[in-house]
Amino acid sequence: MINAIQKEVDKIKDSKWPTEVEDDLIFTVNLLITPNDSESKESDKIILTVNHHGIILSRVIFPKTSHFECLPLEEEMTYLYNATM
């Protein structure tokens, strides 16, 4: 699953921010593993991380706590990119 999302992220990055324009821009999809105890309702999360101009920021992309938080992957990437400017 992570690899499939990473491939899509790479496609979006290459079309929206070509290497010639942003050669130090890296997006990475990771799995955040959280402790699994009986009292916690937390679960593992998929996060999107941007590394740009030495600034590294991450954002949970799945699961979201409400339908209103769900954004298309390209918008999540744009949000993180703009936050590094």
Q: What is the pLDDT of residues 22-78, one digit of tens each?
A: 889 999 999 998 777 656 666 789 999 999 999 999 999 998 776 666 789 999 999
More confident residue, 38 or 7: 7
Look at phi and psi of residue 55 and say left if phi exceeds 0, alpha if psi is from -120 to 50, else beta: beta
First to last CA, the chain: 30
Closest CA to 82 of 37, 19, 17, 33: 17
Closest CA to 57 of 36, 81, 38, 37: 81
pLDDT of residue 58: 97
**Is the model's pTM score more than 0.75?**
yes
More confident residue, 75 or 20: 75
More confident residue, 84 or 64: 84
